[in-house]
């Protein structure tokens, strides 16, 4: 019996590991191309920092690759065993289907616990570190925050627009400096500009802007325009130095978002509040708590899906009875997409009275119930 368990487990583990590796590669490649390579090409991060960022991506994509990988591995293993008549031979020797599948489900439950830790602790912490590394590098190279062709608000009190960008050089550069009320203090237009971070004599961080063919218009702050008119300056070369103060709520600055919060941080925020106004109403508190609870239970549900999908894969593979990899992979992809669609639909519910944090768990219960029904049917044949 132990030899049989080892054989089934070995086949499932090998197939699941290969399938999980393939899904990790696909998910990782998309994130690397979208975020890491873009940061390297814009000069925001160095090649060594890019390697660190790629390593930090692994804990964030692994929880999504594991359910699909284990589902595919179990489908491949039991589909091949069913097609080769091995399942029939085991049942003829007195070993029931439930007994054959039990060790596979036990291992899937252990993997689900590990995935729960990844979802609640390692994954969010890794994504948090990812954003800190990306931002820390960008603060050393401020030009990396600027997107060509868009109005950039990353620096407090400054509006910056560059029509083109070549490395650290911003072409057809425009800058508007405004006060706390949004009143225009200075406007600058230059053929090109370079942004860098420096420090003043007091050790404070400053933003240094070196410009070519610059035209500057300055309006004295808080002064009457008629008594103190605007001044105009043109220069072949010009340098501006301003305090480097980034807005805490803009893209390119560090803000700890909900997906970066660990399970413990979310539980604590449920008690103290997350994004509440100064004097929140009872309804606002309920919605705030609901958003945290839904995210927490979504991560729990994603981890549990490893077990529920593995349970469903066994009878489904036997009923299909095919050993082809393409059939099993297609079936796994369809099941995974169906599961994630049902789970996502539960997160769309925004009424706290409907308890969307409970609805998120329903797809797992549905999969487990269907798996038990199919197992009973498959065990009788």
Residue 39's nearest CA partner among 135, 127, 128 is 135
Give me the half-sphere count of Cα atoms (radius 13 Å) on the Cβ side of residue 17: 7
Residue 26's nearest CA partner among 2, 70, 62, 53 is 62
Kindly give the confidence (pLDDT) of every residue in the chain, 381 residues in length, as a single tens digit, with 9 standing for 90 and above. 677 788 889 999 999 999 999 999 988 888 787 778 777 766 667 778 788 888 999 999 999 899 989 998 998 898 888 888 888 888 888 888 899 999 999 999 999 999 999 999 999 999 888 877 776 555 556 666 677 788 887 777 788 888 888 767 889 999 888 877 778 888 899 999 988 777 766 767 777 888 999 888 887 665 554 445 566 778 888 888 877 654 433 444 445 678 888 999 999 988 888 878 778 888 888 988 998 999 999 999 999 999 999 998 888 888 775 555 566 566 667 777 788 888 888 878 888 888 888 999 999 998 899 889 888 888 776
CB atoms within 10 A of CB 80: 20
Domain-by-domain residue ranges, the chain? Answer: 2-139+272-380, 155-243
Q: Give this prediction's pTM.
A: 0.69
Residue ranges with strand state E in the chain: 151-152, 158-166, 169-178, 184-199, 205-218, 231-243
Per DSSP, 182 falls in state -
The Cα–Cα gap between 286 and 273 comes to: 10
Residue 88 token pair: 């029939």
* Burial state string for 169-178 with b = 16 or more CB within 10 A and e = fewer than 16: bbeebbbbbe
Q: Report the Cα 344 to chain-centroid distance in Å.
A: 15
Residue 23's nearest CA partner among 71, 66, 78, 55 is 66
């Amino acid at each position: 019996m132990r030899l049989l368990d080892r054989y089934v487990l070995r086949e499932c583990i090998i197939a699941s590991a290969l399938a999980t590796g393939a899904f990790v590669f696909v998910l990782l490649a998309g994130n690397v191309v979208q975020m890491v390579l873009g940061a390297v090409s814009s000069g925001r991060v160095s090649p060594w920092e890019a390697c660190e960022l790629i390593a930090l991506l692994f804990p964030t994509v692994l929880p999504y690759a594991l359910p699909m990988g284990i589902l595919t591995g179990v489908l491949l293993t039991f589909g091949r065993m069913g097609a080769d008549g091995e399942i029939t031979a085991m049942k003829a020797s007195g070993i029931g289907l439930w007994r054959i599948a039990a060790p596979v489900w036990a291992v899937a439950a252990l993997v689900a616990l590990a995935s729960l830790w990844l979802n609640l602790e390692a994954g969010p912490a890794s994504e948090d570190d990812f954003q800190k590394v990306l931002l820390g590098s960008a603060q050393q190279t401020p030009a990396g925050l600027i997107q060509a062709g868009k109005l950039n608000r990353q620096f407090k009190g400054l509006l910056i627009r560059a029509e083109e960008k070549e490395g650290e050089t911003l072409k057809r550069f425009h800058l508007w400096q405004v006060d706390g009320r949004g009143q225009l203090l200075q406007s600058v237009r230059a053929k090109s500009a370079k942004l860098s971070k420096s420090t003043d004599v007091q050790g404070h961080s400053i933003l240094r802007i070196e410009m070519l063919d610059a035209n500057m218009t300055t309006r004295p702050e808080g002064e009457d325009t008629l008594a103190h008119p605007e001044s105009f300056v043109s220069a072949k070369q010009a340098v501006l130095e301003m305090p480097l103060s980034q807005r805490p709520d803009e893209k390119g600055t560090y803000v700890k978002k909900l997906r970066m919060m660990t399970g413990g941080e979310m539980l604590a925020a449920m008690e103290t509040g997350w994004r509440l106004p100064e004097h929140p109403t009872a309804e606002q508190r309920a919605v705030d708590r609901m958003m945290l609870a839904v995210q927490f239970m979504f991560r729990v549900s994603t981890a549990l899906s490893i077990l529920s999908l593995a349970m469903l894969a066994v009878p489904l593979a036997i009923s299909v009875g095919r050993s082809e990899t393409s059939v099993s992979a297609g079936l796994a992809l369809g099941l995974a997409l169906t599961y994630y669609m049902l789970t996502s639909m539960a997160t769309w519910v925004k009424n706290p009275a409907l308890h969307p944090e409970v609805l998120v768990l329903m797809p797992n219960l549905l999969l487990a119930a269907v798996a038990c029904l199919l197992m009973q049917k498959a065990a009788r044949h």
